[in-house]
Structure 1
Amino acid sequence: MKSILVHAADDSAMESRMQVALDIARATGAHITFLQSVSYEVFAPGDFYGSAMAAALPQIKQAAEDFRAKTEADLANEDAVWEWKFLYGMAEDRLLEQSALHDVILVGPHDVGENGKRPSRMAGELALKAPVPVLVVPDEAKRFNLSAPVLVAWNGSSEAAVALRAAVPMLKYASNVFLACVAEDKSRERHDFRLDEGAKYLSRHGVDAEIVELPSGKLKVSDVLFSAAEKRGCSMMVMGAYGHSRFAEMLFGGVTRRSLTDPQMPIFLAH
């Protein structure tokens, strides 16, 4: 991971993802790009004559400038290489465009302005569309130890395999890697890859993985995974994004959706 893209926005998780990005950059020698994006159109939908927009523009611009000045002042004392980039437009679109020359995107667990128990739509869209993985950083993650253990959620699906492969550069720093499989109902099991095939792939990259089979009992799969990760002192969970169809995930829930609703630690997503 040599090029980190961070969504720069004035939300409750900004401090957390900034610190996580700095910790990763220090450990890997990576460069950080903080991308701030403002779309004026979203502030005045239906304002055909532009009157509301004209009145709001000075406040919007000042708020953006104040946020940038405050954040850059905090970053000035950090021993990492970073730059600030400002672009007009929807944040999701600008992050997707800029991701082509980055190795990972850091975003918060909720969309800007929303702090309820719902997953970030932007995080989900980026995980599905971006050519690089997405690291979702919750508010509580003030630091990130790259050498701490990591849990990889494994269900034998192609999505899990893609996430596993994308995480290799970070897994090489981990003191332990746990390849965790949760027993599910037979009708929902995937058989693209056996449990041991993920471990074999990692071994070819010099990463030793311990296979862990977890009983689900009556708990949700996401809760079983978080519990196992916390018990093992993991700093991050690696997960394939949206293994079922996205429409089914939105209607009925799913491991990805439930995990993103209330993430207990940073979640590394790829699809």
Structure 2
Amino acid sequence: MAFKTILTITGPEIGWQGDLKLAVDLCQQAEAHLSVLVMALAAPPPIGEYAVVVSDGWMQERQADQRRLKARTEEISAFVAANPVSGDVVSDYAEVGWADEMVGRRARYADLTLAGPELLASETLRQKVIEGALFWSGKPLLLVPEGAQPTLNPKRVLVAWDTRIEATRAVGEALDLLAAADEVHLAIVDPVEGERFHGEEPGADVATFLARHGVNVTVDRLPSENHSVAEVLRRHAVDTDAEVLVMGAYGHSRLRQRIFGGVTRSMLENPPLPVFLAR
């Protein structure tokens, strides 16, 4: 799909200039509109026998948060207006318990959500953005670790493939990106032959599908050799000099708790290169 609106999210308590510059660069590459959500997480209301005593302090804290949010929003609005891309900036003072849903609602109206290194360094806001983008938007998420220079026109792409719906979704969302790349390596770790698994020739079906879309794809069947799948993918990304890793995000939501599979969790916690995720 074409990336015509890119969303990035920041807050008054974290750095923002690095992430916004990355977002502007991506929008220039794709001739896309930049959408910025400036989000502050509201302190939960006091409860119990001390609620009345501390309620004044809690209200003052919230008012101070909102002032900081307003000031940061104005600062970012000025930055966006001074750059050569079209853009919009909105803010939200979100209750912690519902912040991920707020992120998801905004992300539905973008083609891609960008999570840059400054956001990823913030434990609480990072968690809300990742969960909101993956569980509530139906749109892909691009994680960019510190020191990486993301591009929406990569020459070399690594795809983590395992036949599940999430991987299929990720490939579909990244199809334009894959078709424009010089090399796409489709990595299958410890493939299992058979109709119910990877087929008689693991990777052949998805490679044929991608080739019909003009993708120059190579299937790499990789043994884990007692290493984790995440570690195998990390090493193969280095071996293929990949600029981005495309993969499905595995997990589910129960009782407002997000539970990710091991490979997804490893990539979320320590992305080795820009990671394009969908589920």
Q: TM-score range by the shorter chain?
A: 0.7 to 0.9
1:162-205: CA deviation from partner (whole Å, max 9, x where unpaired):
11111112223323211111116x6xxx7266412222222222
TM-score (norm 1): 0.81
**Is this contact kept in 1: 2:9–2:36, CA < 8 A?**
yes
**Is this contact kept in 2: 1:105–1:134, CA < 8 A?**
yes
Alpha-carbon deviation of 1:215? 2.0
1:236 and 1:10 map into 2 onto residues whose CA distance is: 29
1:197 and 1:225 map into 2 onto residues whose CA distance is: 21
1:92 and 1:31 map into 2 onto residues whose CA distance is: 22
SS at match of 2:204: helix
Q: 2:133 aligns with which of 101, 117, 126?
A: 126
Q: Which has the larger radius of gyration?
A: 2
SS at match of 1:79: coil
Alpha-carbon deviation of 1:6? 1.3
How big is the alpha-carbon RMSD for the aligned residues of Structure 1 and Structure 2? 3.0
Change (3 A) 1:103 1:143: closer
**Is this contact kept in 1: 2:187–2:220, CA < 8 A?**
yes
Residue aligning to 1:2: 4
TM-score (norm 2): 0.79
**Is this contact kept in 2: 1:14–1:108, CA < 8 A?**
no
Greater Cα offset, 136-145 or 259-268: 136-145
Alpha-carbon deviation of 1:18? 2.7
User: Would you say 1:83 and 2:88 are equivalent positions?
Assistant: yes
Letter in 1 for 2:123: E
**Is this contact kept in 1: 2:81–2:87, CA < 8 A?**
no
SS at match of 1:135: strand
Alpha-carbon deviation of 1:39? 4.1
Residue aligning to 2:197: 191
Greater Cα offset, 158-167 or 62-71: 62-71
Alpha-carbon deviation of 1:153? 0.3
Residue aligning to 2:177: 170
SS at match of 2:108: helix
Alpha-carbon deviation of 1:65? 3.0
Alpha-carbon deviation of 1:61? 2.3
Corresponding residue pairs, total? 260
* Structure with the bigger percentage of strand: 2
Q: 1:221 aligns with which of 215, 229, 235?
A: 229
Using the aligned pairs only, state the percent identity: 26
Residue aligning to 1:30: 32
Structure 1 residue ranges without an equivalent (≥5): none
Equivalent residues in 2 for 1:43-82 (5 A)? 43-46=44-47, 48-49=51-52, 50-82=55-87
Residue aligning to 2:108: 100
**Is this contact kept in 2: 1:36–1:91, CA < 8 A?**
no
Alpha-carbon deviation of 1:74? 4.1
Residue aligning to 1:114: 123
Residue aligning to 1:209: 217
Alpha-carbon deviation of 1:210? 1.4
Change (3 A) 1:10 1:150: farther
User: Would you say 1:158 and 2:160 are equivalent positions?
Assistant: no
